[in-house]
Structure 1
C-alpha cells in the first residue's frame, strides 16, 4: 500500500484484520505525527499552515482567476489530508453513487452498497445537548453506524450565534434539512464532523491496535512502481525496494498517484517521452480530468452581543488557559469555538434556466435535475479569522461561503521534470467552463439576497468583503479575485469501463490499472463522479470498497 491517507488506511486496516491475516505493508511519504495538540478541534482550521505536515502545493497561474496561483494543500503525514482538513464529514448524494455505478457498469458502487460501507466505518453521535436546538438536525439511527473506528457527529458545544444564523437563513427562504448523510443532502442543517469529544478524528484512528501482520513504514515517498514486463512486483522509495508477493495498491491521491504512475512509465506517452521516461503502458487518461470544488465568501461585521469571540480571540491568556483545559479534558473554548458549522446543499430555480445550462450535454442536464443532486452548498459561519488570521481584526463577524457543486471545468496534472521528487504541475482550470462562470454569478447573487434579508440584516453592522454591486460583471470579477479551492481534487486516474481503457479511463471498476497486472489505484484520483460533498468521506469509502473487492478476490474472509 502506498500511501497512508484515508483510502490507504482503510485498505491496510481492513485487509490486515481479515480472518486470513495476509501480510500488508503500508508505506507513507510523511512522518507519523501523534502529538495530541495537532488534533485540537477548534484549531482544525489552522493546522494546514503547519509546513511540516503539508506538501505546500499550489496551482499554476489560473487564466480565468486573474493569473492567481491558488493554494493546493495536501497532508504530508500518516493520515494524509485528514491531518489538515476542516473535519466536515459529508457522504454526498445517493444519486452521486448510483451515477458512479452506471458510469463504470458495476453495482458495487450503488448507494445501498456504499451506504452500508459508510455505516461500517463510523460510530455516529447525533446527540444535541440543548433541547431548543434539536430542530436543526434530525438524523435517523438507521442511516448511521454505531461500531466503526471513525467517531463522527455534532459538537457538544456551539458558539451562541450559530442558531441565530441558521434561523436567519431559513427565514430568508432556505429549506431545512434533517441529515446531510442520509443520502439526500438538500437543506440547511448541522455539519457532521470528524471530531469527537473535542479531538479531531484522523485516518490513523483506523490503525489503532492493528495486528502484527500490518507493517507501517513512514518517511518513505514511493517514487515508482517496480515492473517486470507489465506486471507490478513492488515499489521503490529513495533507493529502497519493497517487493510485493501479491499486489501493489497506490493511494497517494489525485495529485500524487498520477506522478507515481508516470515515473513508472504508465501514462501519456508524449509526456513520458518528453522527459526521457521509458513508456511501459500508454494511458492517456492518467493526469487528465482533474475536477475540484471551488468556493467564494462574503463577510459581514455583526452585532458583538450575538457572540463572545472577541473576549476569547483578543485575549492570549484566555486562549492559553483554554489550551490547558483542552489538554486535561478535551473540553472548554477550544472544543466550542468554530467547532460546529451550519451547512446545506441546495437546488437553484435559476441555474437550470441559464443558457449555459441548456447547452450542457443532455446526460449532464439529466443528472443535475435528479432530486438529491444540489447545484451549490452554503456554510453561513465559516471561521475566516482562524483560516486567514490577517483578514479579520474584530471577531464579531460572519463569513458566508458558497460552494459550486458539479463544476464543468476540467483540468489536468502534468509532468514538469524527470525527477520523481518534483511535484507535478497542477492546473484545475477554475472557471474555464461557461457554466461554472454563470453558476458562480447566480450563487453569489443568491448569497447577497440572503444577506440583504431583514432576518440577517437585523444583527449586521457593516459589509467587510463583498462585490461592489450585483451586476454580472462585478460578481464574476469578485469570483475571479477571491475564489478558493476546497481541496476536493478528483479524477486524474479515472475509473471506467474496459472499452474506455486508456483514453477516457485508466482503471476498471475493480481498481485495476489497464494494461498492468497486479497494480491497483484506490483514492480520489479514480472517482469518476464529482461527489456533492466534502470528499474525505468519499476517500474513506473508496478505500473500503477496494478492500472489499480484494477480500472477495483473494478469499480473505
Structure 2
C-alpha cells in the first residue's frame, strides 16, 4: 500500500468510501475470515494489515460512531471530546489514597478509539521497556532492536533525518511541533538549567538513556489530526473486503468448546452473531477487553461463578495488573501576557528521574498552554483562564489495580479499582516531580511568561502530599489488564494468543506486562503491527 500517495482526503474518495460501506452494511455476511473487535490504535493496525490481502474478508467492529467531526479532526480541540458520546466515560471507584476521590477515566468511543481523541503525542517507549517485554514473553521479537526496525518501517517522519532510528514513507505521519508557542522552547531552556540534555528529537537517543527534554513529536498536520485509523484503515474502506461496522457493541466471544468461533453483538437494538472462519481479535482496550473475556467465561473462576457465568478457561490474571500513568493536574502559572495555545497545546516535554540513582526515567512532564487542574484543586485555587501548566506524571508506577465485573449483564458498568498512589514510592516520586516543576516554572528562563505562580506554591511535607493526592488524575494510559507473559497471571503468550483458547488473540494496551514510558499510542501501534505480521504470515 502507498500511504501518502493515496488521494484519501478528497471528497471523491470520501464518497466512494461512504457508498461502499453502505453497500457492505446492507449485505452483511454471517461469517468473515477475521473479526477485529475495536477500531482503536492496535485494532486499526490489525484490521488494516489484514485487509491489504483482498482474499481475506475482514470485519472491524466499533461501538462508537464517525470520526469525521471537528472535535476529532481539529488538533486543538482534543479536550472537547472528554465527557461526550465519543468517550466511554469510565470512572474509577473512590480511592482512599486520593482522599476518596473517584477519578474519571476517559477512553475513546469513536472510529480510531483513543487515537481519535488523544493529545496526538508520538512517544515510542524507552528502550528498556521493549527489552522487558521480550524478557517477560520469552520472545526476542518484542525487544528494542526488533521494535526499532518496526518503527523505522511504519513512520513517515518529517523531522531531522536519523537513518538509525527514524523512518519515512510509512502510514504514520509524525513531526516535531511546527511553529511552537514561544513558551515551549523556553521551558526546554529551563529544563536544561536543571541539568537535562535538550534533544532535537523526543524519540531516538532520548528514549535510550537517562532522559532529557524536547519539543514533542505529534501526529498532526496543518492543524488537523492524523490518526492511526486514518493512516491504516480509511485508505482501504473503498475495498470490497473490509466492512467497518459502527455503533455495534461487542457482548461476548462465541466459543465452541475452547475455540473462539465468532462474536455476539448488540446492534440497532438487536442481538446478532458473526462467525469468524480463522480468528477473533479483541482490541477493546484495558477495560472492555477483560470485560468481554470475563463475560465469555474466560477469567478468574471464582469471580465468574459469583456472577453465575459458566467457566470456560480459568485465567486469574484477567482484569488484574491494571496500570496507568498518574499526573498531578495543578502546577499552574498565570501568563504575564496571554498566549494562544498552538498545535495540541502540549508542545514540550521532559523525561527525568525522581531520584538520581534510578537507572531510567520514572517521571514525565508536559507543558500545557492552558490551565489544567483536577476539580478539587480548581475549586480551591480558582486559576485564571490565561494560565499555563506543567503536568508531572509518573511513568513507572508501582501501584497495581484491577478491573472486575459488577454483574453478568454486559451493559452494567465495570468495577474499576485504579489503586492509584497506593504505593508510597509513587507518592514520593510525584512530590519530588512537583518540586522540580516549581523550580522550572519559577526559573529565569520562564520569567517573561509568569505574572504569578497560581499553585501549589511553597508547600511541604503532609500539606504537599495532600495536594498531590487531590490533584492526581489519569493521563489516559490505561493498560496491562490482560498481560503478556509466562507466569500464572499471564493472559496471552508472546504471539498474543489467549492461553487455553484457540482462535482468540488480543491486541491493545491490555497485553502490556507493564505500562511503557511515555504516551502509549506508539507502543499500541507496535502491538498491532506485531499481531498483523503474525496473522498475515499465516496467510
Q: Does structure 1 retain, via aligned residues, the 8 Å contact 2:178–2:343?
A: no
Tell me if 1:487 matches 2:476. yes
Residues 350-395 of structure 1 deviation map (CA, whole Å, 9 limit, x = unaligned): 5x4xxxxxxxxxxxxxxx52xxx31211223353369999987744
Matches within 5 A, 1:364-379: 369=359, 373-379=360-366
Look up the SS of the partner of 2:217 in the other structure: coil
TM-score by length of 2: 0.86
Match of 1:505 in 2: 490
What's the CA shift for 1:427? Answer: 1.1
CA contact (8 A) 2:223 2:343 kept: no
User: Equivalents in 2 of 1:340, 1:417: separation in Å?
Assistant: 40
Separation in 1, partners of 2:382, 2:201: 31
Moved more, 159-168 or 198-207: 159-168
Q: Does the 8 A contact of 2:323 with 2:514 survive in 1?
A: no
Unaligned runs of 5+ in 1: 127-137, 310-333, 353-367
Task: Name which of 2, 8, 11 aligns with 2:46.
Answer: 11
Tell whether the 8 Å contact from 1:299 to 1:466 is kept in structure 2 after alignment. Answer: yes
* Secondary structure, counterpart of 1:247 in structure 2: strand
Question: What residue in structure 2 maps to residue 316 of structure 1?
Answer: none
Within 5 Å, which residues of 2 pair with 1:69-468? 69-126=102-159, 140-182=162-204, 184-185=206-207, 186-205=211-230, 206-210=232-236, 211-238=239-266, 239-296=271-328, 297-304=330-337, 307-309=338-340, 336=342, 338-339=344-345, 341-350=347-356, 352=357, 369=359, 373-384=360-371, 394-457=384-447, 459-468=449-458
Residue of 32, 35, 38 corresponding to 2:72: 38
- Confirm whether residue 22 of structure 1 aligns to residue 56 of structure 2: yes
C-alpha change, 1:525 and 1:385, in structure 2 (3 Å) is closer
Match of 2:6 in 1: none
Which residue matches 1:326? none
For structure 2, the 5+ residue unaligned runs are 1-35
After TM superposition, give the deviation of residue 141 of structure 1 in Å. Answer: 4.5
Q: 3-state DSSP class of the match of 1:299?
A: strand
> Partners of 2:251 and 2:188 in 1: how far apart?
47
* Alignment: residue pair count: 490
Aligned-pair CA distance for 1:457: 4.1
Query: Once the 2 structures are TM-superposed, how far is the Cα of residue 120 of structure 1 from its aligned partner?
Result: 2.6
- Over 3 Å counting, the alpha-carbon distance change for 1:298 and 1:339 in structure 2 is closer
Residue 467 of structure 1: CA displacement? 4.9
Asked if residue 550 in structure 1 is aligned to residue 527 in structure 2, the reply is no
In 2, Cα distance between the equivalents of 1:71 and 1:79?
Answer: 20
Task: Please report how far the alpha carbon of residue 139 of structure 1 lies from its aligned counterpart in structure 2 after TM superposition.
Answer: 5.8
**2:500 is the counterpart of 1:515:** yes
Q: Tell me which protein shows more strand as a share of its residues.
A: 2
Task: Tell me the CA shift for residue 207 of structure 1.
Answer: 1.1
Q: What secondary structure sits across from 1:422 in the alignment?
A: coil
- Pairwise CA distance, 1:75: 0.8
Q: What's the offset of the Cα at 1:396?
A: 4.0
Kept in 2, the 8 Å contact 1:62–1:429? The answer is yes
Question: Aligned partners of 1:490 and 1:62: how far apart in 2?
Answer: 18
RMSD: 2.2
Check 1:340–1:429 CA distance in 2 against 1; reply closer, same or farther (3 A cut): closer
Distance 1:385 1:287, change over 3 A: closer
1:533 and 2:518 are equivalent in the alignment: yes
Please identify, of 408-417 and 458-467, the stretch whose mean Cα deviation from structure 2 is larger: 458-467
Q: Does the 8 Å contact 2:128/2:144 carry over to 1?
A: yes
Q: CA deviation at 1:187?
A: 0.8
Question: What is the match of residue 472 of structure 1?
Answer: 461
TM-score, length-scaled by structure 1: 0.83
Displacement of 1:215 in angstroms is 1.6
Distance 1:196 1:548 in 2: 28
